[in-house]
Structure 1
Amino acid sequence: MNLKRGGGRIGRLQYWTGEYALRGVAVVTAIVLVVLFYYPVGTVLANGLFGSVEGTNPVLAVLGSEFYLGAASGLTDPSAVPGGVLDWMRAGFPAVDFGLVGFTVYQALLSTLASLALGLPGASLLAHYDFPGRETVRSLTMLPFVLPSIMVAIGFVAMFGDQGVLNSFLGWLGLESVSVMYTLQLVVLAHAFYNAPLVTRIVGAAWAGLDRSKIETARGLGAGPIRAFVDVTLPQLGPAILAGALLTFLFTFMSFPIVLALGGLELATVEVWLYARVQQLELAQAAGLAVVETVITLSLTYAALRYESGQRGLGRGPNRKPLIGSLRDPRRLGLLAYGLVVGIVFLGPILSMVVESLTGPGGPTLEHYAFLLERQATGASYQVKPLPAIRNSLMFGLAALGIAVPMGVTVAVLEDSRIPGSRLLGTLLMAPLAVSGIVLGLGLLQGLVFGTELFGHRITVTGPVAIVAAHAVAAYPFVTRTVSPMLQQVDHRLVETARVLGASRGRARFDVELPLVLPGIVAGAALAYAISVGEFDSTIILAEGSSSYTMPVAVERYLGNRTLGPATAMGTVLLGVTAISFVVIDRVGGWWEP
C-alpha cells in the first residue's frame, strides 16, 4: 500500500490529492454552474411557470395563443379538437398555420435539410480523398464555432443586399438586380453556411472510421456501389447523420442574429420574438415563451448527445485516394463542382464584407474605417465607439477563458470517469448548449444584475461581470467537446503503470494524461476565446453603455443605423480578431479528426 501511495506524509498528501481533488474541483464546478447558469435560467423558467400575464399563467397563455401556436393552440382544449379536425376536413384540407412556433420549426427544418445537402458531400470528400488544400477545407469545418453569427449576417447583407456585391456584379453584366433581402430563402442559405461545416465534421469523422470490410463483402457478393451504400454504408452513418441533423436543427431553431439581420420581425422566430418581448419589458410573457422553447431545445440536446456518443471509438479507415487522378471519373468531377459551390457559398459573404468595407460610391476607399476613427475621437458618450468595443471583447474573452477552460476540462474528466448516471449527468452539464442566449441573458439580468436576496443581503453584479458569466457558460461545453475525445483515446494502461510505480491519481493525470491532451486543451481555450469574442445573444441583453458593449454589439448597432459601410468595417475588424483564434485552433488541434 505504501508503494502505491508513495509512502510517508508526502505520499499520504499525494493520495489525498489524487482521491479527493477531482471531487473538490467537480463540486466547485457544480457551484459555479448553479450560480452562473441554473439559478439565472431557473429564475426565468420559474417566472414562466408561476408568474401571471393578465391573470393567466404565462406558459398556458403561450400554449393557448393562436399567435404562438396557431391551430395547435386548440390542443389546450381537448374537447374542441375533434370538431376542429372535422371542420378542417370539410373545408378541403387547407394549409394550416401553426403560428410563431410552427414557423420557427419550419425554417429550422428547411435550414437543416439545406445544411445536410451542403455538408454531406463535404464529409465524403474529406473521408475518402486527398487533394491540395484538404487541410484548408478541413479547417473550414470549424467555421460555426469561430465566426460570430452577427458577422456572418453582415457578410450576407454585403453580398445579397440591394446594393451588395451580387447586384453590383449583375449590373456590370447588364442584368437586372435581384432583391432577396428579408426572404426565407436567404435566412435558410445563411443557416446552411453556418451549420453545413458542423454536419461535415460529425459525419466525416464517422465516415472515415467505417468498417470497410462489410462494404467490401457486400461488393464481393455482387452488390453495386449504390446498393452497397444504401444497405451497408448508410446504416453505419445513420447515427452520425442524425446527430448532425439534430444539432443543426437545435442551432437553427435558436438562431438569433442571422434571423434578426436578414429576416427582421417579418420573419420572426421564437428567439427574435423573445428578444422583442424583453425589449418591450414584457418579461412575464417572455418567460412563458422561454419555458416552451427550453423544453423543446433540451429534448433535442439530449437526443443529439445520445446519438453523438455512438460515434466514439470508431476505427480509422484505409488511406484516402487522391482526388486529382483521372478527370473522366464522374465522382471526381462532381466533387470538384461541389468544391466550387462551397467556395462561392462560404467565401463569398466573408469576402463581400471585406470588399464592402473598402468600397464607397466612387470606388475603393478607406472612408468607412476613417468614420470609425472619427467616431472614436469625436463621438458623443452615448454613441458606439470602436476602441471600447474592441477592448471589452478582448478583456471579456480573457476573463471568460479563466472560467470556461477549468470547467470544460473538469466536465471532460468526469465524463471519462464513467461514473454511474454519466449520460444524465452529461446532459445536465451540456444544458448550456440547449438554452437560448437570450434566456440566459434575461436570467442573469433578472437574477444577478437586478439583484437577489441572500441571507438578508441584496447581491448584485455589474453588466460586465454578467457578460463574462454568460460567455463562460456558452463556451465551456465546447471545451469539453474538444478535450473529451482526446481523453477517451488515452491508453489507460499508461496511467495504471504510473499508479503501480507509486504515482497518485492526481500525479498520474498530471504527468501522463495532461501532456497527451494538452493540444486539445489549448485548442479548446482558443475555441472558447473565439466564442466569447463573437457572442451576441446574451450580450445584447446585458450590454449597457460604453463599459460593456462588444464588437458584435457594435456591428449590430452600426447596421441598425442603416450604415452598411461602418458595419462592414467593424465586422472586418471582428474578423481579424477571431481569425487569430481560428489559426490557433487549426494549427494546435481541435475536435478529433480521423
Structure 2
Amino acid sequence: MARRDGWALWIGVAATLATLVVVFYYPVGRVFADAVAVDGRLTLAPLRAVLGDPFYTGAAHTLFIDPAAVPSGIARWLAAGAPPVEFGLFGFTAYQALLSTLVSVLVGLPGAYVLARFEFPGRRFLRSVTIIPFVLPSILVAVGFLAMFGRTGLFNDLLGIVGLGPVELTFTLEIVVLAHAFYNAPLVTRLVTAAWESVDADRVETARTLGASPLRAFRDVILPQLLPALATAAVLTFVFTFMSFPIVLALGGLELATVEVWLFARVQSLDLTEAATLGAIETALSLGLLYVYLRYEARRTEPGGASRGLSRRPLVDGIRSLVDPLRVAIFAYSAVALVLFAGPLVSLVIESITTPAGQLTLDYYAFLLARQASTAAGTVRPFPAVVNSLLFGVGTLLLSIPMGVVVAVVATRGDRGSRAAEALLTAPLAVSGIVLGLGMLQALVFGTTLFGYRLTVTGPVAIVAAHAVAAYPFVSRSVTPALRSIDDRLGEAARSLGADRTRVLTDVELPLVAPALVAGAAFAFAISVGEFDSTVLLSTGVDSATMPVALERYVGDRSLGPNLGPATAMGTVLLAVTTVSFVLIDRVGGRWE
C-alpha cells in the first residue's frame, strides 16, 4: 500500500515536472544558454558585453572590464569631491524598485495598523478588498493612472475647477511609483495586518506592567513580531517592482525604461542575444531575492503556541473622533488611500464616457464596434480579443489547477525530498513573464529540432502554457495552508478503511479544501485574463491577441493622437470581464463553504 501511495503521488509530481520542463525549464534554460554561448561555443562574451557597458551598469562597469582600475578610480572620484555617478539601467531599475518599495510600505503600514487595532463597520469587507489589486491586469491599472493623472485626466480637470494649472505627471518617475504602490501597498497591508493580529497581548501587558511606556512596549515587544512580515512584504514588493513591465511601459516608456522594458525593446529589434543576456542576469538577481523571501517567510510561519491577540478599539468614538489627533490622521489617510486606490478605476470609467470637454458620449464604445467591423490588416478587433482571453483563461484552469494541487500536496508532506521538489516546482515565481515569453519564443515558437523533426508550439497553445506557469503557484499557495489545517485523524480514518493516499486526497481532503481551491482557481483565471508580459511576445498577428494586448495597442495607436478614449473604453470592458469572471468563480465556489 505504501509503495502504491508513493507511486500515485510521485506520478503526479513527475507529470507536473514534465510539463514544467517543456514549457518552463527548457525555455528559460535556452535564455541562459544564449547568454553564455555563441554559435554553439561556451563564452562569457555576451555577459561581459552587457556588464561592461556603462549604459547597463553605469560606473560599476569598470568592475567587469578592468577590476584592477577600481581603487584608482575611486580615489579620483573622491578627489573630485564625490560627484554624482551614473548607475546605468540596472541601477535605475533597482532605484525605482527601492522607491516603489518605500512608498508601498509607507502607504500600506497605516492601513495595517487601522485594520489590526481598530474595530469599525465594514472592517472585514475592507480587509477582503485589499486582494483586488492582485486580480486587476497591470496594463489596465496603467491606463487608469493615465486617465486620472494625464494632462486631460480627471485630476487636472478637478484642479481646473478651482483655478489651478495642470500638473504633468505622465512619463515621470512619480506616476510609476504611485502605480506600483497601488499594487503593492495592499500586499504590505495584508501581510502586516496578519502579523499584528497575532501579536501576543500577554507579552505587551507584561511589558506595560513592568513600567514600559506604550512606545517602549511597541519597540521592544510588538515591532520584533512585525519585522518578519514587514521584511517579507518589502522583499516581495522589491521583486515585483524590479520585474515590473506593463506599468513602466505605459507610464514611463523608454524614457524611464527598466530592465524589463529594455529587454522587450531588444526583442522587438530582434537583438535576441542581448535580450537573453539581460533576461539571464535579471533572473539570477530575482532568484537571489526569492531565496531571501523564502527565508523570511519560513521565519514568519514558524509554528507557535496559541496566544491572545491584541484587542481592537472602536474607530468612531462620538465627538471625540473629531478632535482626537490620531483618529483625524486616520481619516486623512483614508481619504488619500481612497484617491490612490479608487481614483484610477473611477477615472478609467469616467474617461470612457466623457469627451475632453466634459460632455457625455458613447463615441469611444462606437469606435470599438467600428474596429470590430474593420477588415483592415493588422487591426485588433475587440470581440475576438475578449473571446481569446476567456478561452485562454479556461485552458489555464485546466492546466494550473492539477499542477497547483500536486505542488500543494508535495508541500504538506514536509520531508527533505518534498521540500526539494517544492523548490523546483515553485521556481516560476522568480522568473518574469517577459523572460518566460522570450524563452518560449526561442525554444517553442521558433521551434526545436528533436530526432530530426522540427517541433514548434505557437499561438494559443504557447499562450495557455505561459499563463498556466504564471497561475499555478497561486493555486498551490491557496491550497497548501488549507491542506495543512486538515485534522490528520480524518485521513488516518480513511486509510484504516482501506483508502490509499490518492483516494484520501480526492474523497476527503479536496472536498474539505474546496473553498481554497476555488479561490486559487479564481486567481488563476483572473491572472490569465489580465496577463500581458508573455502574451505580448507570444501573440502572433491579431488572431491570438487578448484584451490586455488590444488595450496596449490602443494606447500606442498614434493614429488616435493623445486621445485615451478608445483605450479607456477597452479598459472598462477588460475591467468588467475580469471582475465578473472573478466574482462568478468565487460565487460558484461559495456553495462548497
Normalised TM-score (structure 1): 0.93
Q: Which residue of 2 aligns with 1:42?
A: 29
Instruction: Select between 247-256 and 206-215 the one with higher mean Cα deviation.
Output: 206-215
Deviation at 1:379, TM superposition (A): 4.2
Instruction: Kindly report which structure 2 residues correspond to 1:531-546, keeping only aligned pairs within 5 A, or say none.
Output: 531-546=527-542
CA deviations 1:351-389 (Å, max 9, x no partner) are 000000011145011110011011101342421110011
Instruction: Kindly report which structure 2 residues correspond to 1:194-233, keeping only aligned pairs within 5 A, or say none.
Output: 194-233=183-222
Contact 2:200 2:310 in 1 (8 A): no
With over 3 angstroms needed to count, the CA separation of the structure-2 counterparts of 1:107 and 1:557, relative to structure 1, is same
* Aligned counterparts of 2:133 and 2:421: Cα–Cα separation in 1: 26
AA of the residue aligned to 1:331: L
AA of the residue aligned to 1:391: V
**Is 1:25 equivalent to 2:17 in the alignment?**
no
Partner SS state of residue 181, structure 1: coil
* Aligned counterparts of 2:3 and 2:422: Cα–Cα separation in 1: 26
Q: Which residue of 2 aligns with 1:529?
A: 525
Q: Which residue of 1 aligns with 2:476?
A: 480
Q: Which residue of 2 aligns with 1:284?
A: 273
Q: Which residue of 2 aligns with 1:331?
A: 326
Identity rate of aligned residues, in percent? 60
AA of the residue aligned to 1:350: L
Partner SS state of residue 545, structure 1: coil
Instruction: Select between 560-569 and 106-115 the one with higher mean Cα deviation.
Output: 560-569
* Aligned counterparts of 2:412 and 2:572: Cα–Cα separation in 1: 40
Selected match of 1:322 from 311, 314, 325:
314
Instruction: Select between 311-320 and 246-255 the one with higher mean Cα deviation.
Output: 311-320
Partner SS state of residue 416, structure 2: coil
**Is 1:93 equivalent to 2:82 in the alignment?**
yes
How many pairs does the alignment contain?
576
Contact 1:305 1:427 in 2 (8 A): no
Partner SS state of residue 61, structure 1: helix
**Is 1:439 equivalent to 2:435 in the alignment?**
yes
With over 3 angstroms needed to count, the CA separation of the structure-2 counterparts of 1:503 and 1:520, relative to structure 1, is same
Deviation at 1:20, TM superposition (A): 2.1
Q: Which residue of 2 aligns with 1:497?
A: 493
Contact 1:49 1:291 in 2 (8 A): no
CA deviations 1:51-106 (Å, max 9, x no partner) are 379x9721111111111001111111221111111111111011121100000000
With over 3 angstroms needed to count, the CA separation of the structure-2 counterparts of 1:424 and 1:241, relative to structure 1, is farther
With over 3 angstroms needed to count, the CA separation of the structure-2 counterparts of 1:499 and 1:56, relative to structure 1, is closer
Q: Which residue of 2 aligns with 1:469?
A: 465
Selected match of 1:408 from 404, 411, 422:
404
Q: Which residue of 1 aligns with 2:349?
A: 354
AA of the residue aligned to 1:402: L
In structure 1, runs of 5+ residues without a counterpart are 6-14
* Aligned counterparts of 2:227 and 2:119: Cα–Cα separation in 1: 24
AA of the residue aligned to 1:516: L
Instruction: Kindly report which structure 2 residues correspond to 1:13-412, keeping only aligned pairs within 5 A, or say none.
Output: 18-51=5-38, 57-76=45-64, 77-312=66-301, 313=303, 315=306, 317=309, 320-325=312-317, 326-327=320-321, 328-362=323-357, 363-412=359-408
With over 3 angstroms needed to count, the CA separation of the structure-2 counterparts of 1:119 and 1:259, relative to structure 1, is same
With over 3 angstroms needed to count, the CA separation of the structure-2 counterparts of 1:30 and 1:56, relative to structure 1, is closer
With over 3 angstroms needed to count, the CA separation of the structure-2 counterparts of 1:356 and 1:219, relative to structure 1, is same
Deviation at 1:221, TM superposition (A): 1.1
AA of the residue aligned to 1:578: T
Deviation at 1:175, TM superposition (A): 1.3
With over 3 angstroms needed to count, the CA separation of the structure-2 counterparts of 1:145 and 1:589, relative to structure 1, is farther
Deviation at 1:568, TM superposition (A): 0.3
Q: Which residue of 1 aligns with 2:571?
A: 571
* Aligned counterparts of 1:447 and 1:438: Cα–Cα separation in 2: 14
Partner SS state of residue 310, structure 1: helix
Deviation at 1:527, TM superposition (A): 0.3
* Aligned counterparts of 1:582 and 1:339: Cα–Cα separation in 2: 26
With over 3 angstroms needed to count, the CA separation of the structure-2 counterparts of 1:214 and 1:577, relative to structure 1, is same
* Aligned counterparts of 2:164 and 2:118: Cα–Cα separation in 1: 39
With over 3 angstroms needed to count, the CA separation of the structure-2 counterparts of 1:307 and 1:25, relative to structure 1, is same
With over 3 angstroms needed to count, the CA separation of the structure-2 counterparts of 1:361 and 1:78, relative to structure 1, is closer
* Aligned counterparts of 1:504 and 1:462: Cα–Cα separation in 2: 40
AA of the residue aligned to 1:390: V
CA deviations 1:107-151 (Å, max 9, x no partner) are 000000000011111122222233222233223321332000000
**Is 1:448 equivalent to 2:444 in the alignment?**
yes
AA of the residue aligned to 2:32: L
* Aligned counterparts of 1:147 and 1:480: Cα–Cα separation in 2: 20
* Aligned counterparts of 1:524 and 1:66: Cα–Cα separation in 2: 43
CA deviations 1:379-431 (Å, max 9, x no partner) are 42421110011011000110011111111111011011112055444333222
Contact 1:45 1:291 in 2 (8 A): yes
* Aligned counterparts of 1:301 and 1:24: Cα–Cα separation in 2: 28
Contact 1:519 1:588 in 2 (8 A): no
Contact 2:100 2:238 in 1 (8 A): yes
Contact 2:353 2:361 in 1 (8 A): yes
* Aligned counterparts of 2:574 and 2:126: Cα–Cα separation in 1: 22
* Aligned counterparts of 2:503 and 2:133: Cα–Cα separation in 1: 36
Contact 2:57 2:89 in 1 (8 A): yes
Instruction: Select between 147-156 and 316-325 the one with higher mean Cα deviation.
Output: 316-325
* Aligned counterparts of 1:62 and 1:28: Cα–Cα separation in 2: 37
Contact 2:144 2:344 in 1 (8 A): yes
AA of the residue aligned to 1:334: A
Contact 2:28 2:439 in 1 (8 A): yes
* Aligned counterparts of 1:217 and 1:446: Cα–Cα separation in 2: 62
Q: Cα RMSD between the aligned structures?
A: 2.0
Q: Which residue of 2 aligns with 1:10?
A: none
Partner SS state of residue 402, structure 2: helix
AA of the residue aligned to 2:573: V
* Aligned counterparts of 1:417 and 1:63: Cα–Cα separation in 2: 42
Instruction: Select between 130-139 and 530-539 the one with higher mean Cα deviation.
Output: 130-139
AA of the residue aligned to 1:49: V
Q: Which residue of 2 aligns with 1:8?
A: none
Contact 1:154 1:568 in 2 (8 A): yes
Moved over 4 A (4+): 313-316, 421-424, 584-590
With over 3 angstroms needed to count, the CA separation of the structure-2 counterparts of 1:319 and 1:493, relative to structure 1, is farther
* Aligned counterparts of 1:584 and 1:322: Cα–Cα separation in 2: 34
Contact 1:277 1:285 in 2 (8 A): yes
* Aligned counterparts of 1:160 and 1:231: Cα–Cα separation in 2: 42
Instruction: Select between 308-317 and 441-450 the one with higher mean Cα deviation.
Output: 308-317
Partner SS state of residue 43, structure 1: helix
